[in-house]
Amino acid sequence: MYNQNSMGNGTVRTPRREDSCLSSRRREHSSGAFTKLQETVLLLEEELKQKWKELQEKDDKIKQLEKELEVKSVQIDKLQDAIGYNNIQLSPKGSQKKKLLSVINQGPILHNEKAPEVHRRQKAKEGVSAEPTSRNYYSPSSQNPDVTCIRKDSSAKKLITGAIMNNDFLRQLEASHVRRMVDCMYERVYSQSQLVIQEGAAGNHLYVLAEGLLDVIQNSRLLGQMHPGTAFGELAILYNCKRTATVKAVTDSKIWVLDRQVFQNIMMSSAQAQHQEYFSFLRSVSLLKDLPEEKLSKIVDCLEVDFYDKGDYIIREGEEGNTFFIIAKGKVSVTQAVEGSQEPQQIKTLGIGDYFGEKALISEDVRSANIIAEEDDTQCLVIDRDTFNQMVGTYQELQTYLREYVFQLALNDHDRRNARKKSLHHSISRDNSEVNQLRELVSRFSSTSPFRYLDVITTLGTGGFGRVELVKLKDEDMTFALKCIKKKHIVDTHQQEHVYWEKNILQQINCPFIIRLYRTFRDAKYVYMLLEVCLGGELWSILRDTGSFEEGIARFCIGCVLEAFDYLHNRGIVYRDLKPENLLLDSEGYIKMVDFGFAKKIGPGKKTWTFCGTPEYVAPEIIMNRGHDFGADYWSLGILIYELLTGSPPFSGTDPIKIYNMVLKGIEKVDFPHRIGRRSEDLIRRLCRAKKKNRNGNLSLHFSEKICNFN
């Protein structure tokens, strides 16, 4: 028998039953606890996933609300612009800085508790202009203006660049232009309480605050403050304008400055250099070398730049093509299938100034070789056959319908139409004879004493320039309009050249759709222009009173304007100030174009650079100082059609910079009202395309047809 003492001798004790049960219960308890822990972990993981999902949904909701807030802010801005009401104190915090900066460029801010109920059409639009530029033509001999670069460290360049890129208007400039602007800005130091900008003073500079703090004050009221890294005063580098707020240094401040003339020189010289380079490329192409200069210049304006990386196929052998290429940067290899070889063999390498695909410009072309980019960032200038044909062809289609339309005036009877045409032709011939007789008569008057020969009947209108009087010849019932322009106003606004151009151009013009100038006078205070009188009133006044025109009336107005454009453009004259305010009605109800202060003779294939026009009507190329030509007039024609049909231009507001930003965003962003028909909308969008090549190209092929279907 085993006894308890035997355990010390290595004997094994048999476990008791109660010990075995206890161990089992412990294992079961441990297993249950682990299972419960696993379930808890799984539950927590599921809850975590749910919380994460909810968090993501909330993030998405926040983003959606931010977008909605941004849209609402834009809508609020538009509504405030529409009623001419901007109040910094009521604006959202995020847009307060933009509102503050816009004060320097726009009219006084209204601080009334209630916005005045004034419709925009109650106030006529005003034209603006920079100083005329003396160098307006592309010429191989023209010298680039002297633009001085100022040394800066990298931190200063970074600050200026950042300020420019944070400005809604300036950020739309090309990177190369921004770099040159940064290089040319010079430093000014302002002591505490010193004025940077004086309210009411003429503006001529763009500023970037580098160090310090500035107050913005209007009508002795503090509107806010500006901190380092802020660009302001950008409107002044476009044209002459009065500052509408005071900017004063709160602390000693350092500011980077750019003059308007330097900015304009940067824009003009770079565009001219690029134009001349592209022109030289085209002149080297045997197919194009005999084309007239104005045709080549038009083609230059239509060239697009395509970019390729190393190994990219520009064209492939055997494909059909309609595009012509000129290499502007990099190199390409030319390969061709060779009998007996599985792979195409390299024939030659082409570099800058070389071209290929020229046959595609005159007929359907099957590519005879592969063209492959050999370097990254290879650049080619390209133009397709349709665009080429439009530019090299004539623009006769532009006037065909409109001549007929203006003569016919929608008369239904064929015989009456013919009679009307004969009558109108006879009337025009008679008018020309009368104009010459009147010019001969008034040429005998002294050039310094107009009122010796004229009696004033009444004042027709007044403005910043002076006034317009209704006058008659003494002892005769022959009436005229006498435009009296203050010499001081001409000098103060640097418009001497514009006045000279207006006189010179109007003296050469004899068109039934353009106001006639009979004689000019001058005395110690005024320059006088004796003009044809149009007592039918301003088209703008009629539009303001009626709200909008039916398409038939708008169509007639546009027909008259296009007759005037045809006359001017055929003589190399660009008008640049189309708007209802500059269209008068004569006694027979025909439209006459007036106010030629911005008109200029540039010649075919040339460009001019002066910023001038009315903000709501200026074309993108004028805003961006790229040089402009007759295409700017066609842009304004599209804006005019829109305003005649709706009562307001598509781009409008109280702040010119905001208007320019809308113009640069494009007509594509404009929602057309239902009252504008589909054909009218299509015509407006074609005329207001940002790229001039598309604008002009559509004119040559489709313009007459679109006008015919205007209703």
593 SS3 class: strand
Tell whether the torsion through CA atoms of 429, 431, 436 and 437 is positive or negative: positive
Q: Is 466 annotated as a binding residue?
A: yes
* Contact by Cβ (8 Å): 574, 568: yes
Q: How far is CA 432 from the centre of its chain?
A: 39
Q: What gap in Å lies between CA 107 and CA 218, rounded to an integer?
A: 10
Catalytic residue among 77, 81, 365, 577: 577
The per-residue DSSP string of 652-663 comes to --S-HHHHHHHH
> Binding site annotation covers 451?
no
Residues 361, 365, 369, 373, CA torsion sign = positive
CA contacts within 13 A on the Cβ side of 370: 16
**Nearest C-alpha neighbor of 206 from the set 162, 131, 150, 261:** 261
| 462 annotated ligand-binding residue | yes
* Residue whose token pair is 């007639």: 556
**Annotated catalytic, 577?**
yes
* Helix, strand counts (H, E) of the chain: 18, 31
Q: Determine the Cα–Cα distance for residues 520 and 129; give it in Å rounded to an integer.
A: 23
Q: Cα separation of 619 and 651, whole Å?
A: 11
DSSP state of 11: P
Q: Is 468 annotated as a binding residue?
A: yes
Q: Any idea which residue has 């100022």 for tokens?
A: 150
444 is in an annotated binding site: no
Tell me how far apart the alpha carbons of residues 209 and 230 are, in angstroms, rounded to a whole number. Answer: 6
The answer to whether 279 is a known ligand-binding residue is: no
Q: From residue 118, give the alpha-carbon distance in Å to each of 82, 83, 168.
A: 9, 6, 28
Four-residue CA torsion sign, 569, 575, 576, 580: negative
Helix (H), strand (E) at residue 621: helix 620-623
In this structure, the chain runs to a length of: 711
CA 143 to chain centre: 27
- Residue 412 tokens read as 């239904």
Which amino acid is present at 475? D
Element (H, E) at 25: helix 17-82
Ligand-binding annotation for 487, yes or no, is yes
Residue 269, CA distances (Å) to 108, 172, 186, 451 in order = 36, 18, 20, 47
Q: Measuring CA to CA, how many Å separate 20 from each of 11, 16, 23, 27?
A: 20, 7, 5, 11
Q: Is 14 assigned a ligand-binding role in the annotation?
A: no
Q: HSE (CB half, 13 Å, CA atoms) of 283?
A: 11
Query: Per the annotation, does 282 bind a ligand?
Result: no
Radius of gyration from C-alpha coordinates of the chain: 36
CB 350 within 8 Å of CB 327: yes
Q: What is the DSSP letter of 597?
A: T
Mark the binding-site residues for ATP, compressed into ranges. 460-468, 483, 487
Catalytic positions, please?
A: 577
Question: Which residues does the annotation place in the binding site?
Answer: 460-468, 483, 487
